[in-house]
Amino acid sequence: MTKELSTLLCIFLLSINIIAFTTMGYDKYASKHIPRHRVRERTLLLIATIGGSIGMILAMKIFKHKTLHKKFYIGVPIIFAIQVIIGILVIIELIGN
């Protein structure tokens, strides 16, 4: 993997995790103040799936939001574990070549 590609990947992951964290925070705020403007659960899960699982987990803990929903307190850590496994496999493949 080239240095440029690695840098872009890091920027993407940092950005998507910031988006995940702030989106979860916004949804917590909206749940109390503007319920008609909530973020859909499938949108939150999509953000976690495309790389924002760490930001989502941090937001769940800090904002105490979605912590009673199985698809979040079980699903998001599973998504994170799968992402870690994929990352490890990619690194192993790159080191082998």
C-beta of residue 65 within 8 angstroms of C-beta of residue 31: yes
Q: pTM for the complete prediction?
A: 0.90
Give 10-residue mean pLDDT values along the chain (97 residues): 85 97 97 95 97 97 95 97 94 82
C-beta of residue 13 within 8 angstroms of C-beta of residue 51: yes
Pairs from 66-71 (Cβ < 8 Å, separation ≥ 24): 66/24, 66/27, 66/41, 69/41, 71/41, 71/45
Please give the pLDDT value at position 1: 63
Q: How many CB atoms lie within 10 A of CB 50?
A: 15
C-beta of residue 47 within 8 angstroms of C-beta of residue 79: no
